[in-house]
Structure 1
Amino acid sequence: MGKKVTALFLVIICSVFLLIGWRFIKNSGILKSYPDKGYLSTVESKYRPVYRQLTPDEQAVYAALYRGIAEHEEEIPLPVEMDGDEYSKVYRILEKQESRFFYLDSVYYTAAKVRDAKVVYRKMGDFEGRRKKMDDAVDEAVAGAADQKSDEYKVRYINDYLVKNCRYVSGDNEEFASTAYGCLVDGEANCEGYAKAFNLLASELGIESVVITGKTDEGENHAWNQVKLGTDWYNIDVTWADTDVSGEVRQMYFLCSDSSFRKTHFADTELFEPYVCSKDDRNYYVHSGLYAESMEDAKDIVRRELESGETTIEIRFATQGLYDTFMSEFIDDQNIFDLLQEAGYQYSGEVTLSLKENRPELCMTLTFS
């Protein structure tokens, strides 16, 4: 009898240990099947320049997240176990660059080591209905670019389309303000929403673009874009192009070099390295002959524009010193009216000059009436 009790006791003990062991193995994921490494296709990666900056393991995790989030999966097994900081980097890049994922929350789970990604989505009703609205809005937006003859014209079209069809709202109070959905469907967005919408439309039109986050010269969080035309990269800020005045598009933040953009925009470099933008050749002011590198340039611009019948003249100056000198000699001392006479400007009675200044960007707008 004693041996039978002992044997039964041993069986129970073994069963308990087996159960505990099985639960440990199950919870540890030892027996769980994980996907092999996979990557975005050549076509998919072509318009994702930041993805191409990642290491092979980071690219594999990015691709797994991309596939899972596209299917709205809440738990996504990863092809490699990743350090928590590295996983956070990949997730944060994806959340900013994948502009179609308007339903993805910026809040995310991480740990010391990550093998199973837990994804947080925005709480919303009728998800499929919203996704269709987004698709329809994108189709409508890009349809208008069909007749644009070059990538530069397409970029101009996107910039102006967003300015004319979206209203800036500050902060994150609006439900989708920081998403492309907010910009394209609701018609209301903050800077991140504008930048994501630009990024999405550019890729749809076959143009490489990235969302850049950083700070303004006043220390505020901000987002804008870099876009590739030909072999060169340029900075563009659609948010600051929006004056919220119907039909008016501010030109000074369109296709800029780093040297001019860095007066007011300071990019984060924590997650990836922004691209070098070394040229101003496509900048609105340079392209339109409104960029003054000397006092003679500035006078020639005013005379030329007046001779062509323009009554509103924009000028951008190469240096602060040149800007200040022009202000002193031609605005403060009112010598600007001598240029009117030299240009043969036709007027009767009094001429009034209205001046708009943007000193940080070294721009001024002269309006004669």
Structure 2
Amino acid sequence: MREMKKIFAGILMTVLLTGCSSQEILSEVPQTIVLPEEQIDSLPMQEEDPTSAETENTESFSLLEEGGSRFAYESLEAPEQIWYLEIEQALGEMEGTVKLSTDPLEQGLDEQDIDKIFQCVMIDHPEIFYATGYTYTKYSRGEKTVGIDFAGSYELTEEEAIVRAEQIRKITADWIRGIGEDKSEYEKVKAVYEQIIFATDYDLNAPDNQNICSVFLEGASVCQGYAKATQYLLNHLGVMCTLVQGTVDTGEAHAWNLVRVDGDYYYVDTTWGDASYRMEDGSEQEGLSEINYDYLCVTTEDILRTHRIEGVVAMPECTAMEANYYVREGNYFTEYNREQLQRIFDAAREMGRTDITLKCADETCYREICRVLIDEQEIFSYIPDSNSTISYAQNGKQLSLTFWVTNE
């Protein structure tokens, strides 16, 4: 009887638990200019042009798109919401200087609140890709603020912004048709996650990498571009999605998303879903899937192992597991289960895949599966070709294991 030799190539891949560097993700207010405070006896009035109303009606436009989530808006108090709506309209219509309502001033707001409200507008509206900041002028009477003028800062002209917006709508309409609006919410989130990863290269030097233009028009971006593109697509597919900003455990800035699937909240990090981005040397591995599902619909507990939530909008506690990728796909383990693992390998072979990934419920389960499959090399009992070379990657923080065949 011929002895069957088993070749085991264990490649332990160190996962880069990093986000965007300080150069990669910018504050939503990269250029805020405070004009000199003006002491006045009365607020300046705009001159009335008898033809202005007619001109506005015929020439006005807005780049705001309907159907998106207003998660950040809903987090604001009523006086803040008044200024939010005014700033939202000003940015959407690329207006010049606008006067903010004075009622919020009477209710305790001042110029220091503009920054938070501006950020909330930008968080809710990935389609405002052309705004780079704002300026304001404060009018005071003695120690009292009696008026504030607001003006957005834009890197594009109206004509340029309209052209880009139309290009984005055409491209994303094709993507949305490919995904299918009749899918379940989980299927839509998974499809968007995969589509953006397949279509986008992670590139620190990508143009417009802080907005959706980088993903949809250039096919290259960094974390904020990935996250805003995810938000844009899911909102158009009818799935609640908002932007989350913070840092990772190295202290670097990062951006990802919060989604709502079947009534429950989950975190999604499309950037970290790009497997090649998270390899230490950035190289692709033969046989390894391009997509890492460790960050598709995860809990607060899971995301806080590597991320820190910051920003101006409070996030809900995410505890549901029903829409987690590994739970939904049957790859979630509470203990070593040979029958369950065999089903996973069999399903992968039927789909023509040479890789599988599983997630463990806790450290005890994770150590047990690592011992059986790696230390005792039981993994080979699931591979029909005894001459296969198998590689594996571990994500100890997310308690996941990936195995793939590198040559057969």
TM-score by length of 1: 0.79
Distance (Å, rounded) in 2 between the aligned partners of 1:147 and 1:51 = 26
Secondary structure at the counterpart of residue 222 of structure 1: strand
User: Per the alignment, do residues 247 and 137 of structure 1 end up closer, same or farther by CA in structure 2, a change over 3 Å counting?
Assistant: farther
Question: Which whole-Å CA distance do the structure 2 matches of 1:292 and 1:108 have between them?
Answer: 50
Q: CA deviation at 1:226?
A: 0.7
Task: Name 1:215's counterpart in structure 2.
Answer: 247
Counterpart-to-counterpart distance in 1, 2:347 and 2:328? 17
Deviation readout 1:152-192 (Å, 9 max, x if unpaired): 2222222222112121123xx54310101111112111111
Aligned residues: 326
Q: Which residue of 1 aligns with 2:162?
A: 128
| CA positional deviation for 1:318 | 1.7
Q: State the Cα distance separating 1:110 from its structure 2 match.
A: 5.1
For residues 81-106 of structure 1, what are the alpha-carbon distances to aligned partners after superposition, in whole Å with 9 as ceiling and x for unaligned? 4412211100112123210111000x
Does residue 298 of structure 2 align to residue 276 of structure 1? no
- RMSD over aligned CA atoms reads 2.9
Structure 2's unaligned 5+ residue stretches are 1-37, 48-64, 139-144, 277-283
Structure 2 CA distance for partners of 1:278 and 1:186, relative to 1, 3 Å: same
Residues 97 and 196, structure 1, Cα contact 8 Å, conserved in 2: no
Separation (CA, whole Å) in 2 of partners of 1:255 and 1:47: 18
Give percent identity, aligned residues only. 24
Q: Distance in 2 between matches of 1:236 and 1:261?
A: 9
Name the CA distance, whole Å, in 2 between partners of 1:126 and 1:144.
28
Asked whether the equivalents of residues 302 and 313 of structure 1 are also in contact (C-alpha less than 8 Å), the reply is no
Output the CA distance in 2 between the equivalents of 1:336 and 1:136. 46
The alpha carbon displacement at 1:243 in A equals: 3.0
What is aligned with 2:231? Answer: 199
Structure 2 vs 1, CA of residues 306 and 152 (structure 1 numbering), >3 Å: closer, same or farther? closer
- Residue 46 of structure 1: how far off its partner (Å): 7.0
Contact between 1:226 and 1:234, CA under 8 Å: does it hold in 2?
yes
The Cα offsets for residues 224-282 of structure 1, whole Å up to 9 and x where unpaired, read as 111112221111111111235697222111111112222112211x4111122111111
Q: Does 1:66 align with 2:75?
A: no
1:152 and 2:186 matched: yes
User: Any idea what SS the aligned residue of 1:109 has?
Assistant: strand
Task: Describe the shift of the 1:306–1:159 C-alpha distance in structure 2 as closer, same or farther (beyond 3 A).
Answer: closer
Determine whether 1:265 maps to 2:299: no
Whether 2:158 is the aligned partner of 1:116: answer no
Offset, 1:355: 1.1
Structure 1 residue 149, shift from structure 2 partner: 2.5
In structure 2, the CA distance between the partners of 1:196 and 1:306, relative to structure 1 (3 Å rule), is closer
Partner in structure 1 of residue 377 of structure 2:
334
Cα gap change, 1:46 to 1:189, in 2 (>3 Å) = closer
Equivalences for 1:1-369 in 2 at 5 Å? 29=43, 31=45, 47-80=69-102, 81=105, 82-105=109-132, 107-109=133-135, 115-123=148-156, 126-146=160-180, 148-170=182-204, 173-244=205-276, 248-268=290-310, 270-295=311-336, 297=337, 299-308=338-347, 310=349, 311-337=354-380, 340=381, 346-347=384-385, 349-368=386-405, 369=408
2:293 counterpart SS class:
coil
Whether the 8 Å CA contact 1:164–1:247 is kept in 2: the answer is: no
- Indicate the structure whose relative CO is greater, using CA pairs within 8 Å and at least 6 residues apart: 2
Q: Distance in 1 between the 2:124 and 2:273 partners? A: 21
8 Å contact kept, 1:88–1:110: no
User: AA paired with 1:325?
Assistant: E
Does the aligned pair in 1 maintain the 2:244–2:255 contact within 8 Å?
A: yes
User: Secondary structure, in 3 states, of the residue corresponding to 1:275?
Assistant: coil
Query: Which entry has the higher C-alpha Rg, 1 or 2?
Result: 1
Structure 2: distance between partners of 1:210 and 1:277: 14
Which residue of the partner structure matches residue 5 of structure 1?
none
> C-alpha separation between the residues in 1 aligned to 2:171 and 2:291?
21
Counterparts in 2 of 1:45 and 1:133: CA distance versus 1, 3 Å: closer
On the 8 A contact 1:227/1:236 being kept in 2, the answer is: yes
The alpha carbon displacement at 1:360 in A equals 2.1
Whether the 8 Å contact between 2:131 and 2:153 is mirrored in structure 1 is yes
Cα gap change, 1:176/1:332 in structure 2, threshold over 3 Å: closer, same or farther?
Answer: same
- Whose helix proportion is higher, 1 or 2? 1
- Cα distance, 1:44 vs. partner? 5.7
The alpha carbon displacement at 1:45 in A equals 8.1
- Counterparts of 2:275 and 2:68 in 1: how far apart (Å)? 33
Partner Cα separation in structure 2 for residue 308 and residue 152 of structure 1? 20
Query: Higher mean Cα deviation, 354-363 or 145-154?
Result: 145-154
**Per-residue deviation at 1:309?**
6.3
The 3-state SS of whatever aligns with 1:93 is: helix
2: CA distance, partners of 1:346 / 1:334: 14
Is the contact between residue 241 and residue 253 of structure 1 (CA under 8 Å) also seen in structure 2? Answer: yes
In the TM superposition, what is the alpha-carbon distance from 1:31 to its structure 2 partner? 4.3
- Secondary structure class of the residue paired with 2:317: coil
Tell me if the contact between 2:246 and 2:307 (Cα under 8 Å) persists in the aligned partners: yes
Q: CA deviation at 1:25?
A: 5.1
Q: Judging changes above 3 Å, is the alpha-carbon distance between structure 1 residues 329 and 255 closer, same or farther for their aligned structure 2 residues?
A: same
